[in-house]
Amino acid sequence: MPLFSEISEQPERIKNLLASQRKQAERIAAEIRNREIDYVFLAARGTSDNAGRYANYLLGAMNGLPLVLAAPSLFTYYKKPPRLKSALVIGISQSGKSPDIVSVLEEGRRQGCLTLSITNEPDSPLAQTSDFLLELKAGAEKAVAATKTYTAELMCVAMLSAALVNDKKMWAGLANIPDWMRQTLRQNDLISESVQRYRYMDQTVVLGRGFNYSTAFEWALKLKELTYIIAEPYSSADFAHGPIAMVESGYPVFAVAAKGKVFDSMLEMLKRLRSDISAELVVISNDKRALSLAQVPLKIPTDMPEWLSPLVSILPAQLFAYHLTLAKGYNTEQPRSIRKVTETK
């Protein structure tokens, strides 16, 4: 099955990406430092948009760069692009073919901005439009649901962040990612068994916060694409402001609770869901307290810093979506109504 093999090959793909694209990330960072860059303007769709959510937290927390997620329709249908003075304009796309993402970088160049594409296709329209390219080096992704290109996008963002501050500790952390991924993928059999509990589930919510806000969105997207479950992603903070009212006893709630700055707030939410409401919890975490609250605990390495956790925490989520698709009797390779390349305008 291509989808399962592509999930499994991520450690090697990430290792090769780091080796092949580090110098390019450092060249891009040097040019950013030479320019009067005040903020990042980022365009993406679908899975790549979730990589943009990660960039929003990472570039802000580590590099002091505010990030704006673009509204591409302003550039295409409305023909009213905003002023982009002093922006680094980034386009993220697995295929590099979506016209609306390309249009944002074209406008960025017209306004004299530095432009960067992050894509798996170096000959694509997006790559040809930008000043710089970070190539995903993920190899051909045959499965419709994106997996290895998503983690490669996260890795490119993380490499750019490390290069901007030229921090040896950050680069050392990036070098550990492949091993952390391998450790996490060893839970495949456990996940395959655990999903049977949810084969008749038709709706859920997925919670995350901070760096793993992106993971919540990506996990929810994979559940929608592959299993056709109504899966709604939320920040745990936003969830407390109303949507928690939908949860009743036995309602399935998925959560990503990696150790770090937002862990305590996530833990309090999980305690509330378990003890006050008796929700059914599937939890990805590297903290025993969070895992102990879950009917299905999914472990990630304990020594992993929070800013890198999204690159690893998405792997058990991908496996969960894959095995649940099989349990429900659906085709993991050909989800209904979607195609591998979606060229929105």
Tell me the per-residue pLDDT of 246-277, one tens digit each, with 9 for 90 and over: 999 999 999 999 999 999 999 999 999 999 99
Q: Same structural domain for residues 162 and 310?
A: no
Q: Same structural domain for residues 101 and 63?
A: yes
**How many domains, in total, are found in the chain?**
2
Q: Same structural domain for residues 118 and 58?
A: yes
Tokens of 257: 């609770």
In a domain, 243, yes or no: yes
pLDDT in tens, 197-240: 999 999 999 999 999 999 999 999 999 999 999 999 999 999 99
Closest by CA position to 79, among listed 59, 99, 107: 107
Q: Same structural domain for residues 105 and 203?
A: no
Residue of higher predicted confidence among 36 and 86: 86
Q: Same structural domain for residues 157 and 297?
A: no
In a domain, 345, yes or no: no
Q: Same structural domain for residues 155 and 287?
A: no
pLDDT score of 230: 97
- Where is the domain boundary, 130, 151, 178? 178
Specify burial of residue 205 (Cβ count, 10 A radius: 0-12, 13-18, 19+).
buried
Q: What pTM did the predictor assign?
A: 0.97
In percent, how much of the chain has pLDDT > 90? 96
- Where is the domain boundary, 178, 206, 225? 178
Q: Same structural domain for residues 198 and 117?
A: no
In a domain, 86, yes or no: yes
Q: How many Cα atoms sit within 13 Å of 83 on the Cβ side?
A: 3
In a domain, 340, yes or no: no
pLDDT in tens, 89-140: 999 999 999 999 999 999 999 999 999 999 999 999 999 999 999 999 999 9
Q: Same structural domain for residues 190 and 297?
A: yes
In a domain, 342, yes or no: no
What confidence tier does 336 reach under pLDDT thresholds 50, 70, 90?
A: confident
Tokens of 165: 């501050």
For residue 224, the enclosing domain spans 186-327
DSSP class of residue 28? Answer: H
Nearest 5 degrees, angle CA 336-CA 342-CA 344? 125
pLDDT score of 154: 98
Q: Is the pLDDT of residue 334 over 90?
A: no
Q: Same structural domain for residues 168 and 20?
A: yes
Q: Same structural domain for residues 161 and 275?
A: no
In a domain, 339, yes or no: no
pLDDT score of 32: 97
Mean pLDDT of the 190-196 span: 97
pLDDT score of 277: 97
In a domain, 302, yes or no: yes
pLDDT score of 343: 65
pLDDT score of 1: 65
pLDDT score of 338: 73
In a domain, 88, yes or no: yes
Q: Same structural domain for residues 206 and 111?
A: no
Q: Is the pLDDT of residue 340 over 80?
A: no
CATH number at residue 61: 3.40.50.10490
**Residue 69 to residue 2: CA distance in whole angstroms:** 31
- Where is the domain boundary, 154, 178, 202? 178
Mean pLDDT of the 26-47 span: 96
For 115, residues 6+ apart whose C-beta sits below 8 A from its C-beta are 88, 89, 90, 91, 105, 108, 109, 129, 130, 131, 132
What confidence tier does 52 reach under pLDDT thresholds 50, 70, 90?
A: very high
Q: Same structural domain for residues 219 and 112?
A: no
Decide if 204 contacts 216 (C-beta within 8 A). Answer: no
Q: Is the pLDDT of residue 345 over 70?
A: no
Mean pLDDT of the 304-310 span: 98
In percent, how much of the chain has pLDDT > 70? 98
